[in-house]
């Protein structure tokens, strides 16, 4: 089965840039989607199709995907960005299934 690997935690100072990686075998050939989840809340889609932003998501959020790594980049980080972030793909190699990364806790120092 397809596995997505994220770092458990990332820390960044306010105003700096945070980068959260998502590793997977040839993930560059798949479409990667990213979700933000704050404590006690449902996840919210922040990036789809590797780098597209849904309406209402700040331009500070961007994404890229190549080779074996996809990256969510948050520029000019704010305190309100502190949350868990999950990457997700669809694996259709053997059977259709959704796959989530283990999640990354973003801490704003």
Partner 1 sequence: EVQLVESGGGLVKPGGSLRLSCAASGFTFSSYSMNWVRQAPGKGLEWVSSISSSSSYIYYADSVKGRFTISRDNAKNSLYLQMNSLRAEDTAVYYCAVADWLNWFDPWGQGTLVTVSS
CA distance 60 to 69: 20
CA distance 28 to 18: 21
Cα angle 92, 94, 100 (rounded to 5 degrees) comes to 50
**One residue of 27, 53, 101, 106 binding partner 1 per CB under 8 A:** 101
> Considering only 10-18, 27-35, 64-72, 74-82, which stretch makes contact with partner 1 by CB under 8 A?
27-35
The 60-89 contact track toward partner 1, x by CB under 8 A, reads ------------------------x-x-x-
- 38 contacts partner 1 (rule: CB under 8 A): no
Residue 99 binds to partner 1 (criterion: CB under 8 A): yes
Residue 10 contacts partner 1 per CB under 8 A? no
Cα 75 to Cα 25, 57, 58, 60, 89: the distances in Å are 27, 13, 10, 5, 23
Smallest gap from Cβ 99 to partner 1, in A, equals 7
Residues in Cβ contact with 103 at an 8 Å cutoff, skipping those fewer than 6 apart:
6, 8, 37, 84, 85, 86
Of the candidate residues 12, 35, 53, 65, the single one contacting partner 1 (CB under 8 A): 35
Verify binding: residue 103, partner 1, rule CB under 8 A.
yes
């Amino acid at each position: 089965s397809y596995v997505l690997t994220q770092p458990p935690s990332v820390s960044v100072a306010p105003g700096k840039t945070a980068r959260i990686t998502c590793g997977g075998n040839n993930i560059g050939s798949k479409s990667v989607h990213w979700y933000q989840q704050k404590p006690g809340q449902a996840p919210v889609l922040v990036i789809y199709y590797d780098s597209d932003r849904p309406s209402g998501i700040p331009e500070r959020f961007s994404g890229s995907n190549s080779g074996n790594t996809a990256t969510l980049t948050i520029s000019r980080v704010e305190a309100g960005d502190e949350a868990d972030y999950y990457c997700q793909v669809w694996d259709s190699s053997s059977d259709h299934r959704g796959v989530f990364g283990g999640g990354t806790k973003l801490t704003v120092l």
